[in-house]
Structure 1
Amino acid sequence: MYSAAESSKIRQDFWTTFGQYMKPVPSAQGYRINWQNYKTGVKDVYFRMKTERDFISIGIEICHRDDELQQLYFEQFVEFRKLLEAELEEPWDWQLHQFDDLGKVVSRIQKVKIGLNVFDQNDWPAIISFLKPRIIALNAFWANIKPAFEDL
């Protein structure tokens, strides 16, 4: 078991490594981008990558405080579901109104992979191989549909 400081250091080292690996990859628009800290540019819509002891995940998280507006954003993503899944080349899990780690209501569209451990450096290539194509695909998807969310 790692101390909190050790856990934080390992995670920080992983995200630094991921960032260095992704640095030469341009966004869908050809710009430089901070992949590990992706900014959607739309309030309450986030692209989240999570690394834990027994799983990793990547997804879209809608965090609007108003449940009805959160549902409206989620339904807007549902309208683009075929486009998203075509870009990702796989189906993802869709969850309306779930609780996050802090007990807040959020909605998620995500892909989870069980069995990879960020604390095992031998798993890092597999974690990066899982996250890289999906965050690039999310970026390409977002480049096309972001305007539909800017007016909500």
Structure 2
Amino acid sequence: MYSKEEAKKIRLQFWEQFGKRCEIHPLLRERRKKWMLHRTKIPGVALRFEADRTDAKVILELSQRNEDKRLKAFEIMQNYKVILEDGFADALIWEFFHEREDSGQEVARIYNVLPGVNIFRQNQWLDIFNFFIENMVRLEENFLQIRDILKEELDNYQ
């Protein structure tokens, strides 16, 4: 078991090493901005990485505070499920309700998971990094195909 300070240090090292891996990965070398993340051009829609003691996730998160608008965004995404899941070996996990541990905020999530990995095991970092890169590239590309439609429909939603 790690102290709070030790765990924080390991997490920091993990994300620093991930950044270095992104700099040299062939899929990312030519990109000016490595990841879209919060720059989706749609308020309340973000892409996220998450890793903990049990798994790693690549997430498309809907965090609109208005529950009706979040439900509408989730429904729109479901209409384009075939596009969002294109290229993934297994179906993405669709979770309408998730409470974020860090903030308690209610969000909806669409994600892919790599089970059985632990951020505190350095010998698993490369597997997590490769999972993150391959799956986030795919999720970003698929999201970009429907982004304008989602933005327009949410802008028109009252």
Please confirm whether the aligned pair reaches a TM-score higher than 0.5, indicating the same fold. Answer: yes
Instruction: Give the structure 2 partner of residue 136 of structure 1.
Output: 137
1:9–1:44 distance in 2 versus 1, CA, 3 Å: same
Contact 2:52/2:119 (<8 A) preserved: yes
Instruction: Give the structure 1 partner of residue 127 of structure 2.
Output: 126
Structure 1 residue runs without a partner (length 5+)? none
Task: Extract structure 1 runs of 4+ deviating beyond 4 A.
Answer: none
Whole-Å separation in 1 of the counterparts to 2:16 and 2:38:
14
Instruction: Give the structure 2 partner of residue 8 of structure 1.
Output: 8
Instruction: Give the structure 2 partner of residue 105 of structure 1.
Output: 106
What is the TM-score when the length of structure 1 is the normalising length? 0.87
1:74–1:129 distance in 2 versus 1, CA, 3 Å: same
Q: Cα deviation per residue 1:6-45 (whole Å; 9 max; x = unaligned)?
A: 2122111111111221125449xx7412339553232111
Report the count of equivalent residues. Answer: 150
Structure 2 residue runs without a partner (length 5+)? none
Whole-Å separation in 1 of the counterparts to 2:147 and 2:135:
17
Contact 2:112/2:135 (<8 A) preserved: no
SS of the counterpart of 2:87? Answer: helix
Q: Cα deviation per residue 1:31-70 (whole Å; 9 max; x = unaligned)?
A: 4123395532321111111111121111111111111100
Answer yes or no: is 1:32 the counterpart of 2:32: yes
SS of the counterpart of 2:114? Answer: strand
1:34–1:125 distance in 2 versus 1, CA, 3 Å: same
Contact 1:87/1:140 (<8 A) preserved: no
What is the TM-score when the length of structure 2 is the normalising length? 0.84
Map residues 25-104 of structure 1 onto 2, 5 A cutoff: 25-26=27-28, 31-35=31-35, 39-101=39-101, 102-104=103-105
Q: Cα deviation per residue 1:109-142 (whole Å; 9 max; x = unaligned)?
A: 1122221111110010111122111001012112
